[in-house]
Amino acid sequence: MKALKILLSHFRATAVMAAFLVTVLPWQAAFAAVFNPKTFTLDNGMQVVVVSNHRVPVVVQMVWYKVGSADEVTGKSGLAHLFEHLMFKGTPNYPDGEFSRIVARNGGQENAFTSSDYTGYYQTVAKDRLETVMKMEADRMTHLVLTKEQVEPERQVVLEERRMRVDNDPGSILREHVDAALFLNHPYGRPVIGWEHEIRGLTMQDITDFYRHWYEPNNAILVVAGDITVEELKPLAEQYYGAIPRGPDIERVRPAEPPQRAERRVTLHDARVRQPSWSRVYLAPSFFFGDRAQVYPLNVLSEVLGGGSTSPFYRTLVIDKKLAVSAGLYYSGQNLGPSKFGVYVSPRPGVSMEQIETAVDEFFGKVRAEGIDPDDVERAKERILADAVYARDSLRAGARILGSALAIGLTVDDVESWPDRVKAVTPEAVTAAFEAVLVPGHSVTAELLPEKTPGQEAELR
């Protein structure tokens, strides 16, 4: 299967991108800029970004489409992810499977991924094979063969993928219910992979309309990173992608999330559970939802309190009180819609969920009462910088970070200026973000338990 397997839920896809931003970009502390990309726009509206890295004669081509599961029509979930699969089914020029065979024959690697906000396709090849993959990628942007004979096998592949990665995993089932409970109106409440009954119900007209609407050059971003310069890439981009006619302008319209006032709880009992877990997620700001200025302090906050095995949260739950085998915090601000600030704990055998929740509430109550130590804030920022020492050497890091940022509407300047904004975070801003976001009425608390109950159904209360 060429499609990148959907991660456990869409929050993890966005969290991975946010982790790149938080750990990679602050390396500007020692450099004048982060990736020093060069960018231009083709006449048809397709944005092109070049990230030169001449360490090895290899390049990665990424094409990002500004469409994800949150852009699907209500009742048609799974279209974006299904289309990720269908893009490998072939064109008149490159029949089913030929794309992948050519990449393999040329010693390359390929894959794809879908998130709530974007869909991406990439190939890693030797520099002298870049033109080959550019020609094929541009071809399937407009000439994809969509017939029932092509679609139905991939629909079954997606349904099997859902059975394997969601229905057979109690943790994934719980995360779907948590997302559905956290987002009252926003489409982030539905899974990236789609609901089974809606995947089965997608028609050929739905699929064709989706392709014609979203897969246009003016809705795509080409990012090429590696042993290449903008002067070398521009003629190739103009030849292959620039020849595709511009499509109609596309507006991404999504329903707004209303104010939240009620704390929610979701509990799943399943006989397959071997390690119980407790978690809580809070609706949080992102670059395009709520107070954008809190994005940077929230990144620092998650590192200050829960960044690894030396963090206060881990030490309190795991080492000092010996209630848990693991514990931590996470946050992602790189969303086109609302984000999540999360807390998770895996209890030790014999420890009840009530004990875990009490300990978590006591921990955050102490933070609220005593405040956040300014020295801890500075150390957290230093750790963020230290983690980025080797990240700029990665062939794909720049392409992934820039592509994901541009696909949600951020700019190259937003990416390149991230380090200064993180370095400017003050202890007062971190405390203010803590007070504003960690509000019970904006949260969902979840419990995953091993006891079997009739139907093994999730309980929302």
* pLDDT averaged over 10-residue windows placed end to end, the chain, 461 residues: 34 38 38 78 98 94 98 97 96 95 97 98 98 98 95 97 97 98 98 98 98 98 98 98 97 94 97 96 97 95 94 97 98 95 98 98 97 94 68 81 96 88 93 97 97 58 55
Instruction: Please give the pLDDT value at position 385.
Output: 67
Helix (H) or strand (E) holding 277: strand 277-284
Catalytic-labelled residue, pool 84, 257, 416, 447? 84
Q: What is the largest CA-CA distance in the chain?
A: 66
What is the 8-class DSSP label of residue 163?
A: I
* CATH superfamily, with its number, for domain 264-394+413-460: Metalloenzyme, LuxS/M16 peptidase-like (3.30.830.10)
Q: Which CATH architecture describes the domain 10-240?
A: 2-Layer Sandwich (3.30)
3-class SS string, 210-223: HHHHHCCHHHEEEE
Neighbours of 111 (CB within 10 A): 15
Residue 380: partners with Cβ closer than 8 Å, 6 or more residues away: 300, 303, 304, 307
The pLDDT of residue 7: 31
**10-240 with 264-394+413-460: one CATH topology?**
yes
Identify the pLDDT of residue 348. Answer: 98
Domain definitions of the chain by residue range:
10-240, 264-394+413-460
Distances (CA, A) of 101 to 109, 110, 119, 121: 10, 10, 22, 16
Looking up tokens 């804030």, which residue turns up?
A: 377
> What is the per-residue pLDDT for 24?
37
Q: What is the pLDDT of residue 453?
A: 53
pLDDT of residue 394: 80
| 84 tagged catalytic | yes
